Amino acid sequence: MSTGGSERLEPTDDPADAEIVEEKDGEAASLLDSPEFTAWKSSYLHERLPSLFLDGTLKIIEANDTFCKTYACEPRMSGVYFTQFYAPYFNEKRSADLFRSVRSAGKGFMWLGRVEKIAMDKLLNVSKVWIIPMRQSPGDLPHAYSAVCLDLTDEHRQLLQSTFTSLLYAARQKDNDTGNHVERVNRYSRALAQDLVGRPEAPMVDTEFVETIGLVAALHDVGKIGTPDDILNKAGKLEAWEWTVMKQHTTNGAYILSTYPHPMAQEIALRHHERWDGSGYPYGLSEELIPISARIVAIADVYDALRMRRAYKEALTHEQVLGQMSGESGTHFDPFLVTRFMAIAEAFRAIFSELADPA
C-alpha cells in the first residue's frame, strides 16, 4: 500500500524489496534499546490492559503480559504486523483507514477503532483499540506506537443477548404453537455443533461457532412475525397461495435480522429450509452452498417438528423420527450431518424430554 512516500507500511514478498525489509527489521531491533520502548515498558508491560509496542510500520515489536495471556502468544512476534495479527478482521478498507490515520498529522497520528479475534478461550474477543504515537517530534512521522486494548466482549455479548431476547419474545407472541420448540432447537443445534468441533469435515465449527448457534438458532422462524395469523395457525393443509405466503418467513426473517450483530442469525433465518438436493426454498441452494449453520438448524428444526403434536398431525416417537430422517439423508439433509446426528441422537431425545411442552 502506498502512502505517497517511500516508506512501506505493510509486509511484502517482492524480492526487489529485500533491502527495504532488511533495513526495517534493523530499525525494529534498534527500537528495543530506544527511550520509546523503555517508556512503553514502564507504562504497559505489567498493565492489566492488553498492550502492544509497534514500530513505525505497525509491526509488532513486543506484547505485554496481559496481551500474551489473552491470545496465548509470545511477547515478541518477529515480522508480524498489527493488521496481520488481527486478520481476517482487517480487510483492505479497514487496513487503509488504519494506516491513513496513523500517518496523518491532522488525526494526531492516532487511530481509535474496533478489532475482533478468537482469544485463548476459543471465544471471540472484541476490543476497542487506541494506537498512539510514542514521543514524536513535531512535524516528523512517528517511528513507534503503542496499542492499548479495552475489552468490549461482555458488552458485545450483552447486546447480542438483549436483541435476541426482544426478537424471540415477539416471535413467541406471534406463534402460539411453538411452546418450548425454539429453546429445544437451540439446544439441539448446540449439541450437534459441539460434536463437530475438531472434525476435519467441519473446520469452520469452533467454540465460538458453538456458542453463537446455541443462542441464535432460536431465531430461525422470527420471520413468522410477518405471516398472517390465519395462515400461521391454520389447522388444515395450506392452499398453494397460502404456502407461498408461509415460505416468505425466510426472507422476512433475513430482513428482520439484517442489522443483528452476528450474521449467523440472518443466514439461519434465510437458509434453514434449503435442502441438500436443491429442492428447498427460498432460493433452491444445494449441498455446501447452504451455510453449515443452516444445515445444522434444519436437522434440529425437523427433528423437533416431527416429535411435536400439532393440530394437523400426531407426534412421532424418537425412533420413528430417526427412521424418517435417515431416509432423507442426501435429499433433505447433509449426509455427513445426518451421520453425526444419528451418533448423538440420545442427546436429542434427552433434550426433548427435559423441555417437553405441557400436556
Residues with a known catalytic role: 224
Report the C-alpha gap between 49 and 212 in whole angstroms.
Answer: 26
Question: Which amino acid is it at 103?
Answer: R
In angstroms, the Cα distances linking 320 to 47, 70, 84, 325 are 59, 47, 51, 9
Residue 79's CB: how many other CB atoms inside 10 A? 12
In angstroms, the Cα distances linking 14 to 29, 175, 253, 255 are 22, 60, 47, 45
Edge-to-edge strand list for the sheet holding 51-55: 60-63, 51-55, 144-151, 124-133, 111-118
Q: Where are the beta strands (DSSP E) in the chain?
A: 51-55, 60-63, 111-118, 124-133, 144-151
Strand partners, 118: 124
- Per the structure block, which three cell numbers stand in for 275? 435442502
DSSP helix/strand/coil, 152 = coil
* DSSP 8-state class, residue 59: B
